[in-house]
Amino acid sequence: MKKIGFIGLGLMGKPMAKNLFKKGFQLIVYNRTPSKTEDFKKIGVPVASSPEELSKEVDVVITIVTDHEAVREVLMGPNGAFNGARPGTVFIDMSTILPRVSIELSEKAKEKGFHFLDAPVSGSTWAAEQGTLAIMVGGEKKIYEENLEVFKALGEKIIYMGPNGNGSYAKLINNIIGATFAAILGEGICFAEKVGLDVSALIEVLSSGAFKSPLIEFKGPKMMKADYSTQFSLNLMFKDLNYMVETAKEKNFPLFLGALTKEIYQAIKNKVNGDLDYAIIVEFFRSLIQ
């Protein structure tokens, strides 16, 4: 079995690393905030003192951290994993970052004799725990195939997207669609409240037709009850929307709905705690009619 170094034990990373351990991979972990490594120490997983140390004797380094600044830091910063890894090491970045940065990192990796896959995930922390994430992978197909066993330990649906950057492109498109769908759901629910509809009956209607989906099923009731306990935070969604807007600009692509969606998320982010669930987008619309 491959030996894996895992960097980033956040809401998603922690259950993912645990799944690799359960499936029998040799594991070593690193996290910037050391307290998050305690669970792993208890079960005998070694904890590295830096990404550089972690990378020294592994076949694969997985990163799943907040944004591209964090990925750059853990890979290319002082004590970064690129300093310690042996030639041939496979870097799998599962963070959601700018496709441009995924491509840049893949080029730097290649210069040093490493391999690089951008492989962001979609799915909740629950899916991370169950090992049922969707994973969209960009990079050399041969390397993707050689590491399929790693992906299969983490996800249910593994989709090869093409060369480096394509995993990140797919993830940003996925999230701008999700963010816009959630926003129009919020707009619709708020209009229903305005005209005095029974919102739970409306959610039943919405769940009976062409867009019956987990998003309607889970975010609809959260919006109705103003329950913003976090499944995926407003801050993270906003970050991804900004990445999408920036990427569209780089490609001279005129965003319409996506751009307006980003502005709506900006507006509500100025008013609420961004660590809450992005279902809180409904409050943007409520704030307009109160």
Active site residues: 171
CA dihedral 86, 48, 93, 70 (to 10 degrees): -120
Closest CA to 120 of 137, 105, 132: 137
Q: Which is nearer to its own copies, 136 or 150 (CB)?
A: 136
Which residue in the set 152, 157, 249, 271 belongs to the binding site for its own copies (CB under 8 A)? 157
Looking only at residues 242 through 271 of this chain, which bind its own copies when binding is defined by CB under 8 A?
A: 248, 251-258, 260-261, 264
Which residue in the set 1, 145, 149, 208 belongs to the binding site for its own copies (CB under 8 A)? 208
Q: CA 14, 21, 134, 211 torsion: positive or negative?
A: negative
- Residue 161 near residue 170, CB atoms below 8 Å: yes
Verify binding: residue 51, its own copies, rule CB under 8 A: no
Q: Which residues contact 270 (CB under 8 A, 6 or more apart)?
A: none
Report the SS3 class of residue 267.
Answer: helix
Verify binding: residue 229, its own copies, rule CB under 8 A: no
Site string for its own copies, 76-115 (x = CB under 8 A): -----------------------x----------------
Q: Which residues contact 139 (CB under 8 A, 6 or more apart)?
A: 106, 115, 116, 117, 118, 119, 163, 164, 167
Shortest distance in whole angstroms from residue 26 CB to its own copies: 29
Shortest distance in whole angstroms from residue 215 CB to its own copies: 4
- Residue 155 near residue 20, CB atoms below 8 Å: no
Verify binding: residue 160, its own copies, rule CB under 8 A: yes
Distance from C-alpha of 280 to C-alpha of 234, rounded to nearest angstrom: 8
Which residues contact its own copies by CB under 8 A?
A: 99, 122-124, 134, 136, 156-157, 159-162, 165-166, 169-170, 173-174, 176-178, 180-181, 183-185, 187-188, 190-192, 194-198, 201-202, 204-206, 208-215, 218-219, 248, 251-258, 260-261, 264, 285, 288-289
